[in-house]
Chain A
Amino acid sequence: MIATVWSKGLRFLAFATFAFSLCGFSALPCRADALDAFKGQQGTLRIAGGTAHIPVMKEAAKRIMERFPNITITVAGGGSGVGIKQVGEGLVDIGNSGRAATADEIKRYGLVAYKWALDGVAIVVHPDNPVKRLSKDQIQAIFAGKIANWKAFGGADHGIAIYTRDAASGTRAVFWKKALNKGEISKNALFIPSNGAMKTTVANDPYAIGYVSVGHIDQSVAPVTLDGVPPSLDNVKSGAYTIARGLYSITKGKATGLAALFIDYLLSVEGQEIAANKGFIPVK
């Protein structure tokens, strides 16, 4: 009787709350040691930068803030360039970057980088696109705008929509260096401001080609096998898939206070588990 009164939404909400509390309680004993370091801490930790990092940052922040309500952790995007710049200027406590900071950036701001995961950058197309294997030369030709129709690769007779990332993107920096060999990107390429938006855009455009962090891939987009090597976690780990990079969290000077605890947590067994669950390769 009561169940019939409940709307679908309410039931879902109730279930979600239940499931949520259940996993919260069941996870409590095993993670007690990793989070213990935050005991007695309070204050705000500001994190910004790389958009590939966001799922891991949010999960870690959620777990910490649930246990310790006195700690507030804010996670913002912006791209690797923004992360490095903002941490250097002291606007945030941790700047995330999906590329190594340049020697100039490290020297000017006195940055210290902590690598906590490895990530691949995968070329993605719409799942309905029959073209799912390409060579590096073909990728370079596509992104340079030299081959503009999917027909050339056995796909539909339709123009290729090239999606790329903005200058602040670490994903772009890695893709440009390792997949395009610093080659040209067509002026007609469309610019997308984050990994999440790139996934949504490619998932909605049947003629799209773009690139995202391997951690962001799900069923809505299809990864392209590059030179016969699919961008799987195993292939990134073994080094067979070469378009890979480290995910860094950067502090100005050596990390202290909450920032140090947070980075320690990312590198703890539990933190590395979060990274693995979100589709990245733990460093430990």
Chain B
Amino acid sequence: MSLSKNSLAKGVFLFCTAASAAVTLLVLVFMFLLGLPLLEGRTFYSLWGEQWEPHAGLYGILPMVAGTLWIALLAACLSLPLSLGAAGVMTSLGGPGVRRLLQLMVRFMTGIPTVIYGFAAIFLLVPFMRQSLGGAGLSVLTAGMVLAILISPTMILFMADSLAAVDPAHVQAARALGASRVQRLLYVKLPQALPGMVSGFVLGLGRALGDTLIALMLAGNAIAVPGGFLAPARTLTAHIALVKAADFNSPAFRSIFACGIILYLFTTAAVLCVRLISHTYGEAGRA
């Protein structure tokens, strides 16, 4: 009786797993199929160009690829020290009160809708950037800064988890040798938790790559390859949001499937990176 119940449960769960895995793959297949007409002649070549001029038959998405990478990498790099510090204080350096407060705040931050960050930034950060650094205030830097805050909870929680997972025996051994809190964090916990920290960074980067609203609201959406941190840029996600209204049968509309595929590949690469790191170092750690 219990055996059949077991196998039934097993079957149900297996089905769910297979279904969700299939959906992920089907999305990719679907994008390829709908993007297939792009492979015809001129359109395909123009895709990899810098010119996005739909009325002239040019559908270059290179500026958007560049914009995505600029903004996401900047956000991840700005978020890294912030998250590293917060994770360190949360797990090792802070007193119990500070730790709990930080934990609560970070968890709360995960629940703040993206649009709130964007909205607040439009009225506070954008005018400030315009006055202090010139330009329109809508730039790679502005979007990157806000995005850094947005992705920091992902990084912090992942990093804090991996710091907390360090074998307590090692930490106590170091403590017995007279290592201070800071020394324990720097010389015992950090090196051991490094793979987890890198995974946290890559996951944060993945989130930054996929975010739409912040870039749409704050990066200015200009269709040129960004020439610097103060230049406006358009991300692939924002591009999809802006072009989706084009005619269904137009190459402009089809070209956003190419954007989708590139985004998909970016995110897949990030996830694979995380898997590879945890796989390699996880094995090494156990050995």
Contacts and interface: CB of A to CB of B under 8 A. Distances in A.
Whether A and B are associated in the same complex: the answer reads: yes
Interface of A: 78-79, 81-82, 85, 104-105, 158-159, 161, 166-168, 182, 187-191, 193, 204-205, 207-208
B245 to A, nearest CB: 3
Interface residues of B, number: 28
Give the most central of A166, A193, A207: most B CB within 10 Å.
A166
Given A191-B220, A207-B136, 12 more contacts: A78-B245, A81-B245, A85-B245, A85-B248, A105-B247, A158-B134, A167-B246, A187-B222, A188-B232, A190-B138, A190-B220, A205-B136
A208 B223 contact: no
Interface string B101-135: 00000000000000000000001001100100011
B87 to A, nearest CB: 36
B222 A166 contact: no
Contacts of A104: 247
Q: Is the interface of B mostly helix, strand, loop or mixed?
A: loop
B234 A191 contact: yes
Nearest to A79: B245
A104 B247 CA distance: 10
Nearest to B221: A191
10 contacts: A78-B245, A104-B247, A159-B134, A161-B136, A166-B242, A167-B245, A168-B242, A187-B223, A193-B216, A205-B130
Contact of A166 (B127, B135, B245): B245
A190 B221 contact: yes
A198 B243 CA distance: 18
Contacts of A208: 136
B246 A168 contact: yes
A182 B135 CA distance: 27
B197 interface: no
Q: Across chains A and B, which 9 residue pairs bring their CB atoms closest together, nearest first?
A: A168-B245, A191-B221, A187-B224, A81-B245, A161-B136, A190-B220, A82-B245, A166-B242, A188-B222
Contacts of A182: 55
A53 to B, nearest CB: 15
A189 B222 CA distance: 5
A172 B167 CA distance: 61
A190 B222 contact: yes
Contacts of B245: 78-79, 81-82, 85, 166-168
A91 to B, nearest CB: 12
Contacts of B63: 187
A188 B224 CA distance: 6
Contacts of A167: 54, 242-243, 245-246, 252
B137 interface: yes
Contacts of B134: 158-159
A216 to B, nearest CB: 18
Nearest to B243: A167
Contacts of A205: 130, 136-137
B216 to A, nearest CB: 7
Give the most central of B54, B127, B246: most A CB within 10 Å.
B246
A114 to B, nearest CB: 21
A166 B222 CA distance: 10
Contacts of B246: 81, 167-168
Interface in B219-261: 220-224, 231-232, 234, 242-243, 245-248, 252
Contacts of B127: 204
A189 B242 CA distance: 14
Nearest to B220: A190
A85 B247 CA distance: 7
A195 B143 CA distance: 22
A190 B252 contact: no
Contacts of B234: 191
Nearest to B139: A190
Contacts of B231: 188
